[in-house]
Amino acid sequence: MEPNKKFDLIVIGAGIAGLSIAEIFSRSGQKVLLLEKNIKICQEASGAHHGWFHFGSLYSIFPNNQFLKTLVGGIDDLLEFYSEFPGMNINVDSQKSLVFKSFPSQWFRDEPIEYIVSTRNNPDFSLDKFNGIKDYVKKIFYLLTWELAIKQFVSRHQRFHKFKWGAQPASSWIPKAGWFDYSKGVIDKPKNIDINLDNDTHFKIVGFDRPMISTNIVTDLLKSFLSHGGTLQTESKVIDIKNLKEIGNCVVTENDVFTGKKVVIAGGHFTNELLEEKASIKVLVSPLLIVYPAVSEKNFVRLTPFIEKSVNHILHEIGGRKYSVIGGGFFADPGNKSEVIKAEHDLLKMAKKVFPEYNSTKHSEVYFSHKTEIVSKHGERNYQYNIKDLGKNVYTVLPGKFSLGFSLAVNFYKKIMKEDPKRIRKFDINFPIKEFVGPMRHTNIVANCNIVDK
């Protein structure tokens, strides 16, 4: 076996994790090869989400500070290491507040996602109906703890909106919100809500998460990667990784062999296929419902401790068609067919109940998004990105979610190179990348559904 190409870093998998890592190493002067088994990049888990970029707003409800700290830290990283990208439209104004500029190539839409929070007088908490003793005990627990969770949620949002960006890292200040930060001034009643909702048992707070235009993000990252001398090879499925004494790490594809001083596996739920010793990876699938025309004009999350009764809605548009991407707290083991069927059924049932316009829509379709996580010590959901050193300069990475791809890349670079990554040195905005970038899954469904619009 004689390798024919040598690189400083070989990245396996061109989802958001692999692309972000390849880009940041390439711009910092490393010779990088990015391998992707599909024709286009970011088309699996990184192309099957619902276009919701998490800055930490949702995770303000969790008692664990680390989730919020990590996600808020994503904004710090975007401002410090990605501000020179053409589409990165988060800026800090003269009052040290975040502003989102709007233009066609923007990464984020300036439409804050609203949180519609159930209060303890909501029927969800009623003790009149319950399914067994476990359900009864759960309701009692939530009745006792939800008020505290709400106050923490409000306090963290209050601190976020008051924060003076640039004075210190947001991730070290916002998550530390206490009772003195709590203010009812940021709480409002839901208004002009086009869903079935009891205003008297909910309140509204404007979050700091935003919808994103994922294709613009992927386009900018790929153009930077290629402009800085990176090599992308698609339709290249990796079948083996070998460490040979005389030449180091060899990455074997179906048609080629490459050597790399360092190798990082960013294969998502396919990671274990390349490892002799399997990683502690947990894979879940979550159903997303695409509906056209849109059933709501708002981006919102209905927040309740009863996860199966939560709902989120993100409004998107393609070619003049406004459409809805609807999700909820439904997950399934992809290997359990009955679980998968039930998750889809429960999402559809919830959508029909929540959205009055659902039955008059022209097209609806469900697809499943993979969520790949490292199993936490206690078995609960893990919302962190993960970097694992396998030895011999081979690593695995998982972003946790699309939103954390940037922080993952920054911190992986720091871990490996023991320094900060470089700024963009050159960026050819006209670099031809169309053949490598496709639409997100939900966009493709609506753009190609066989409907004649009036």
What DSSP assignment string belongs to 401-427? Answer: SGGGHHHHHHHHHHHHHSSPPPPP---
Residue 323 in contact with residue 314, Cβ under 8 Å? no
Domain assignments of the chain as residue spans, ordered by start: 1-51+212-279+376-454, 281-374
Q: What is the pLDDT of residues 266-288, one digit of tens each?
A: 987 777 777 766 556 778 899 99
The residues near 97 (Cβ < 8 Å, ≥ 6 apart) are 164, 165
| Mean pLDDT in residue range 185-193 | 81
Tokens of 241: 């990784």
Higher-confidence residue of 427 and 6: namely 6
Q: How far is CA 417 from CA 221, 414, 449, in A?
A: 20, 5, 47
Tokens of 233: 């090879």
Q: For all residues of the chain together, what is the average pLDDT? A: 89
User: Which pLDDT band holds residue 383 (cuts at 50, 70, 90)?
Assistant: low
| Mean pLDDT in residue range 404-418 | 96
Taking Cα atoms as reference points, which of 265, 237, 286 lies closest to residue 45?
A: 286
Q: What is the pLDDT of residues 316-364, one digit of tens each?
A: 999 999 999 999 999 999 999 999 999 999 999 999 999 999 988 999 9
Residue 164 clears pLDDT 90, i.e. is over it: yes
Name the burial class of residue 126, with classes exposed (0-12), middle (13-18) and buried (19+) by CB atoms within 10 angstroms of its CB: exposed
Residue 14 clears pLDDT 90, i.e. is over it: yes
Beta strands in 266-330 (DSSP E): 281-292, 300-303, 311-318, 321-328
Tokens of 433: 């990348």
- Cα 45 from Cα 267, distance rounded (Å): 10
Tokens of 51: 């276009």
User: For residue 333, how many other CB atoms are within 10 A of its CB?
Assistant: 14
Residue 99 in contact with residue 93, Cβ under 8 Å? yes
Residue 242 clears pLDDT 50, i.e. is over it: yes
pLDDT of residue 3: 46
> Which letter does DSSP use for residue 430 in this model?
T
Percentage of residues of the chain with pLDDT beyond 70: 94
Model pTM above 0.85: yes
- Cα 363 from Cα 291, distance rounded (Å): 6
User: Which pLDDT band holds residue 452 (cuts at 50, 70, 90)?
Assistant: low
Residue 367 clears pLDDT 90, i.e. is over it: yes
The residues near 310 (Cβ < 8 Å, ≥ 6 apart) are 301, 302, 303, 304, 328, 329
Tokens of 24: 């940041």
3-state secondary structure of 6: strand
Is the omega angle on the peptide bond into residue 293 within 30 degrees of 0, that is, cis?
A: yes
Domain 1-51+212-279+376-454 fold? FAD/NAD(P)-binding domain (3.50.50)
Higher-confidence residue of 127 and 215: namely 215
Residue 134 clears pLDDT 90, i.e. is over it: no
User: Which pLDDT band holds residue 95 (cuts at 50, 70, 90)?
Assistant: very high
Tokens of 3: 């390798």
Taking Cα atoms as reference points, which of 269, 222, 230 lies closest to residue 9?
A: 230
Residue 319 in contact with residue 447, Cβ under 8 Å? yes
pLDDT of residue 381: 46
Q: How many helices (H) and strands (E) does the chain have?
A: 7, 19
Residue 301 clears pLDDT 60, i.e. is over it: yes
User: For residue 195, is it left (φ>0), alpha (ψ between -120 and 50) or beta?
Assistant: beta
